Structure 1
Amino acid sequence: MLKKIVAIVFFVASFLSVSAQNNLPNTNIYLFDIKQVTDSTYKFTNPQFLTMFNEQGYNNQPSFFSKNELYITCQEPYSNQSDLYLLDLAKKTKVKITETPESEFSPKRMPDYYSFSAIRQEPTAKDTLLRLWEFPIDRITNGKPVFKYITNIGYYHWINGYQVAVFIVDDPNYLAIASTRTDELNPIATNVGRCFQQMSNGNLVYVQKDPYSQNSVLMQKSIYRM
């Protein structure tokens, strides 16, 4: 079976704090066809350079909304603001989705398919809030926050229409399940990695770090037994 996969190439190796988006590395996004050759071997072919329009900038967090619609986060060189772009892979066109005084990143299609979400950096008098927002796909309105009170969301994954796995930026950082119905947080683990996904059996998979040894362990959690 031939599938599409996107790859992010980092030209500057650095670790990012989710609260420090101003000094982002130069990264680019490529698209490949991927074919499974054996049980453990894959073949990558037909590379396509997708971010030539921002080659010297920051390009990250690709998310397929459909077979040919790819949403990405971009920040131009010498800019302190990131915006979302829609790349139409069939038509080979791009559309700037957001252009606000704030920065938006991590676009994802929401389970209802009529909306998408992204994290927005909202400057305040003392600090910067990281808040999860939702927008209509047709962009007829300016969107609204997903949660009334929950902030400092660095990364997230939609579990269903009302539950979101969220990485909360804190000391220490922690992973939790947030409810859009009640605005409640149910913590799962602390000292977790930034990448977490839901498996086909519904369980949430994440990386947990040992704060003393810096070793990492791949963990699996049934969110239906919480």
Structure 2
Amino acid sequence: MLKVSQLNQYYGESHTLWDVDMEIPKGKCTCLMGRNGVGKTTLLGCIMGLLKTESGEIVFGDKTLPVGGAEQRAGLGIGYVPQGRQIFPLLTVAENLSIGLTTMKKGKEKIPDLVFELFPVLKEMMKRRGGDLSGGQQQQLAIGRALVLQPSLLILDEPCEGIQPNIVHEIGEIITRLVEELNMTVLLVEQKLHFVRQTAQLFYIMDRGRCVANGDIGELDEDLISQYLTV
């Protein structure tokens, strides 16, 4: 589904990603893990075309993704939920959701029923401004906005950050449903181990800009956790 090969990226003279190789298989949830500041969000930014890469290749399906061109990712079927949600606080829920429709083909500019099936609270709050929602509701809105695209690949950056436990549990159930029932591919950045074990089938670990380990989620043992994940 998504393959990253020998990817290098710089911020000024600082080499941030070092020959990153990663393969995300179709119909699975893969979790990208690592301590803060190791390059996880930077890698997502490169995949989404938000950051320039120095070298390497990113292939989605049978298409090599160009450097930049973030708007093209949505048209190819990649949904992205950034860290911190980044909804538009002064726009209503309906307006936030409708932003995703701008990339849809003519005649398909309709919010899918799936969004309201997964997040019924959004249907009740369509006229409320995004900034008036709770943190958990804003996260649901951010995921719903990405799902408006009806993506084949959904990328989530720290979806559990700063939200209440019951919403964390709900998001985990939704990810599982998207993968198991809709055969959606999910790339998840997350540090909560219990959440990762419940939702992901595969993992990659980054350290200092490099991918240092990967495998089935059952192979995420205490040695890897203590070496690369615990502070």
Structure of greater relative contact order (alpha carbons < 8 Å, 6+ residues apart):
2
**Greater share of helix residues, 1 or 2?**
2
Give the TM-score normalised by the residue count of structure 1. Answer: 0.31
Give the TM-score normalised by the residue count of structure 2. Answer: 0.31
